[in-house]
Amino acid sequence: MEKTRAVTARPSPEAARDIPEATVARLPVYLRALTTLSEQGTSTCSSEELAGAAGVNSAKLRKDLSYLGSYGTRGVGYDVEYLRYQIAREIGVTQDWPVVIVGIGNLGQALANYSGFRSRGFRVVALLDADEARHDEVVAGLEVRPFSDLEQIVSDHAVAIGVIATPAVAAQDVADRMVACGITSILNFAPSVLSVPEQVDVRKVDLSIELQILAYHEQRKTQGAAS
Amino acid sequence: MEKTRAVTARPSPEAARDIPEATVARLPVYLRALTTLSEQGTSTCSSEELAGAAGVNSAKLRKDLSYLGSYGTRGVGYDVEYLRYQIAREIGVTQDWPVVIVGIGNLGQALANYSGFRSRGFRVVALLDADEARHDEVVAGLEVRPFSDLEQIVSDHAVAIGVIATPAVAAQDVADRMVACGITSILNFAPSVLSVPEQVDVRKVDLSIELQILAYHEQRKTQGAAS
DNA sequence: TAGATTGTTAATCGATTAACAATC
DNA sequence: TAGATTGTTAATCGATTAACAATC
């Protein structure tokens, strides 16, 4: 009676391959909302409640969850712990991800100290900086090491994810070296467009771009009031 | 002979109202690419070149620019300086935007020191923190002030944009106070869902969510290799 | 004029949403 | 059984892209 896609009750890794990007980007938001609910002692929630906590509408939430499987109970809702685990497993944060941060300026230090990484399965294994003057400095309990140690560290810790927090001018070089070492996922805070091989994923966080998007809308609000 | 929308040769603020969100989010990227080209001494570029520098395909670039007006020359390309100015004006970064940062921990300090804001029309006018122990500390040339000064500062400097870099638990309170003071755009670095009135824009930057999205894709790469 | 490149069209693709049948 | 809520459908909306007429 069920549709073809849903027939495989526990979706195998293969079957689950086609989760839309927009859904993938929201799964961590749901995960965080479930963690909050769990900490508040909530053991069951409806799609309406969870959607509220995550800041989306409930139709979208249910549609998103339907790509993972059927983890709810009609007429009842979702078991918070169970759903939390299923989403964590789907994202991959039930395992430990060693991460290396390159560029230990203000932002790099803030990232090294950010407790939100550790609690979500990410472990910062090394801090690297090209500036010799910074070496042996200790940040967040880790010694800052020369950039040339990258290869050794990546191979020692099986690092798959690299974070770039260098100035723009250095970012492409760092990315090239990361790729050469076998890193296949990069989070880039430098304001520059990286070119990498197809199999390497790059995500970009650009603080001033976010402000500019706000400014665009802000400008129109004010204009509207003036005209 | 031209279509209705394009008839208003210089689009008035009113006419330009309907730029798609996806396009708005890319305008700052084009602006940065044009600034780089300009600094390299390039005075003219084709959509192909600019698209390359911005990391998008040229069809998308031309489509995006078409929402602003006709700023290129067929057979020739775009004048780098002219296009740069037109996009800056459209975004609103030809004017000065006073910004206040609340929460001067590691991340708040990194933001306060980030030079990319100033060079793009954003001016940090005050740093606020609820922790008394931090007051009178000087960060990026600004004294850290009590959170209770918010209202005075917003009114003195006509602040329209606020940045939240506090722990999650404080973020909603800060947002409420900001809204009460008349701030209508918020950039939120705290890992929490803010609820604000409809007319207030909130953008969220969540470091650990970005890493989780990378982890999701990373997990599948590895799985694919193993299975 | 011939070559180059924009600005626009139209087709396609992916994301969102309301509504509701399925089912606890 | 009656009430509640999921999981899915189908319609709608918005974004992307290739192709090309317009035009420098």
CA angle A40, B147, B204 (to 5 degrees): 55
Res. A8: pLDDT tops 60 = no
Q: Using CB atoms, pick whichever of B113, B120, B223 lies closest to residue A212.
A: B120
Is the pLDDT assigned to residue B150 strictly greater than 70?
Answer: yes
Q: What is the CATH number of the domain that holds B116?
A: 3.40.50.720
Q: Are residues B108 and B62 in the same domain?
A: no
Q: With respect to residue A220, please indicate whether it lies within any of the assigned structural domains.
A: no
- Tell me how far apart the alpha carbons of residues B32 and A110 are, in angstroms, rounded to a whole number: 25
**Residue in B54, B195, B215 nearest the CB of A97:** B215
Nearest to B53 by CA among B23, B29, B75: B29
Confidence of residue A18 (pLDDT cuts 50, 70, 90): confident
Query: Above 90 in pLDDT, residue A140?
Result: yes
A56 pLDDT higher than 60: yes
Q: What six digits make up the tokens of A191?
A: 């304001």
In a domain, A164, yes or no: yes
User: Residues B137, B75: one domain?
Assistant: no
Are A63 and A107 in the same domain?
Answer: no
Instruction: Please state whether B138 falls in left (phi above 0), alpha (psi between -120 and 50) or beta.
Output: beta
| Residue at A5: amino acid letter | R
What residue of B is the nearest CA neighbor of A99?
B211
**What is the arithmetic mean of pLDDT over A209-219?**
97
pLDDT in tens, B33-57: 999 999 999 999 999 999 999 999 9
Residue A224 is predicted with a pLDDT of: 53
Amino acid (1-letter code) at residue B110: A
Domain boundary, last residue among A91, A110, A132: A91
Note whether B118 and B205 are same-domain residues: yes
Contact B195, B172 (CB under 8 A): yes
Judge whether B104 lies within some domain: yes
Q: Which residue is nearest to nucleotide C5 (CA to C1')?
A: B75
Q: In whole angstroms, what is the distance from residue B153 CA to residue B165 CA?
A: 18
CA atoms within 13 A of residue B84's CA, in its CB half-sphere:
17
Burial of A209 (0-12, 13-18, 19+ CB in 10 A): buried
Q: Which tens digits make up the pLDDT trace of B94-117?
A: 999 999 999 999 999 999 999 889
Ramachandran angles phi, psi of B224, nearest 5°: -55, -40
Taking an 8 Å cut-off on Cβ atoms, the answer to whether A220 and B110 are in contact is: no
What are the residues whose beta carbons fall under 8 Å from the beta carbon of A129, sequence distance 6 or more? A102, A103, A104, A108, A135, A144, A145, A146, A147
| In contact, B65 and B23? CB cutoff 8 Å | no
Strand C positions closer than 7 A to protein CB = 3-10, 14-19, 22-24
In a domain, B164, yes or no: yes
Using the 3D structure, point to which of A59, A74, A91 is the last residue of a domain: A91
**First and final CA of chain A: distance in angstroms?**
59
Q: Is A112 part of a structural domain of the chain?
A: yes
For residue B158, the Cα-to-chain-centroid distance in whole angstroms is: 19
> Is residue A218 assigned to a domain?
no
Q: How confident is the model at residue A223 (pLDDT cuts 50, 70, 90)?
A: low
So what's the pLDDT on residue B227? Answer: 38
Residues B124 and B193 in one domain: yes
| B173 located within any domain | yes
Would you state the pLDDT for residue B94? 96
Tokens 């390497």, residue? A200
Residue A39 is assigned to a structural domain of this protein: yes
Tell me what the mean pLDDT of segment B4-8 comes to.
31
When divided into structural domains, chain B yields a total of 2
pLDDT digit string (tens) for A79-134? 999 999 999 999 999 999 999 999 999 999 999 999 889 889 999 999 999 999 99
Give the CA B125 to C1' D7 distance in Å: 50
Range of the domain at A34: 4-91
Chain B 23-42, residues with CB within 8 Å of chain A CB atoms: 24-25, 27-29, 31-33
Where a domain ends, among B91, B119, B144?
B91
Clarify whether residues A107 and A202 are in a common domain.
Answer: yes
Query: Do both A110 and A184 map to the same domain?
Result: yes
In this model, does residue A227 exceed pLDDT 80? no
- Among A151-160, B96-105, B161-170, B216-225, which is the least confidently predicted range? B216-225
Residues A87 and A129 reside in one and the same domain: no
**CATH number of the CATH domain containing B37:** 1.10.10.10
Beta bridge partners of A186: A162, A202
Crossing angle between the packed helical segments B58-66 and B21-39, to the nearest 10 degrees: 110
Claim to verify: residue B87 and residue B124 sit in the same structural domain? no
How far apart are the C-alpha atoms of A25 and A197, rounded to whole Å? Answer: 22
Is the CB of residue B96 less than 8 Å away from at least one CB of chain A? no
A203 and A158 in one domain? yes
B183/B103 same-domain check: yes
Verify that B71 and B32 share a domain, yes or no.
Answer: yes
The residue type found at B189 is F
